[in-house]
Amino acid sequence: MPLDEEQRLSLNRSKLRKILSGENSQEFGNLTDASGNGIRNNSTLWVIADEETPESLLGASLLELTTKDELDLVIFFENLQNARVTQRRASVLNPPPSIFFLSDGEPVPVEPIAIAGRDNVQTAPSEFDELCLKFGLKSICECGTWKGEILGLEVMRVTDGEIEVGVGKFDREANSLMGSDRPLSEVLASAVEIVSSSRNPGSGLHPLSRLARERWLRADALANPEMFGFENLTCVDPPRERESLREAMPAAAIGIDKTGERVLIVFSVGVDICLVSFIADLISIERPDRVEVVLPEKDILVPVEKCLSYLDVPLNIKGVVGGWETPTV
């Protein structure tokens, strides 16, 4: 019988107390429960990984730190791969959390694992470029796949050399089945019309307006880089490919500012507990001189600012009005 949430948290906290009991628990003083899979005293927060992904666990742990100043963070993993991934991200934080793998219940330090290499970019088919030009789509190559987007929302991609039309996998499959007897440009025209009419100020409640808003922010910046102090911006691959259209994931770009510094610009929406992990991985890949995080003005919250402050790189937060928002006079 599966454990309910409270039973699961209680079990994980018991595991933590057992781990600490093997390290002279009298040194830790009074231990109290923290939110999630953690316990703490006046100086340290200990967390054990459970069902969370490594990026969400690190983010949630940093959020917990924002409620209590000057706590050290220690994270235990029962999965070696996840421990090494988190160690890589921890290396660009200040102060860096302590990451351990539980080998037969005993905590041991881990070495960071290198991030996977990027795919070689293949040239897009000429027909893809022509369709992007004809319908005003932004052509982007991401994780080795060419995509045509409208304000950050994909309506076309190249898969195994074939052009597919649709918003998301299921839409592409439906168009392939139902539109097989229609010219590709006609199918794309229909998709473009639907998305364009649903992705504009005042359409905030439309389902297509709510998807991939991080990429919408990036699309606006790519179209108007001078608003951010750059002559041009170049899209940057995420550390990993999104699993689905509905998965919230920051978007990123690189620009060279007026002083010649290489700047990583990261676009996010809401309180994304994976944001710090996302930026940490891109810092390891892109080696920027500084980072600029772009958020809707209403999403610039103190906990978000505190979490971002753990990144050991010059960082600035910029508030903007999202393209889906109706500007107030």
DSSP per residue, 57-80: HHHHHHHHHTTSTT-EEEEEESSH
Asked whether residue 326 is domain-assigned, the answer is no
Asked whether residue 55 is domain-assigned, the answer is yes
Residues 235 and 316 in one domain: yes
Residues 158 and 230 in one domain: no
Residue ranges in 165-258 assigned as alpha helix (H): 169-178, 184-198, 207-210, 213-223
- Secondary structure (H, E, C), 128-179: HHHHHHHHCCEEEEECCEEEEEECCEEEEEEECCEEEECCCHHHHHHHHHHC
Residues 133 and 156 in one domain: yes
pLDDT for the residue 101: 96
pLDDT digits (tens, 9 = 90+) for 1-24: 566 677 778 888 888 888 888 765
Domain ranges, residue 135? 126-198
Residues 105 and 132 in one domain: no
Residues 42 and 138 in one domain: no
Asked whether residue 117 is domain-assigned, the answer is no
Residues 242 and 285 in one domain: yes
Q: How many domains is the chain partitioned into structurally? A: 3
pLDDT along the chain (329 residues), means of 10: 72 86 67 82 90 86 86 94 96 96 93 82 89 96 93 92 81 59 86 89 78 95 93 94 87 95 97 96 96 97 95 96 76
Residues 16 and 105 in one domain: yes
pLDDT digits (tens, 9 = 90+) for 135-176: 999 999 998 899 999 999 999 999 888 899 988 765 665 566
Residues 96 and 143 in one domain: no
Asked whether residue 172 is domain-assigned, the answer is yes
Asked whether residue 114 is domain-assigned, the answer is no
Residues 11 and 82 in one domain: yes
Residues 312 and 214 in one domain: yes
pTM: 0.90
Residues 22 and 89 in one domain: yes
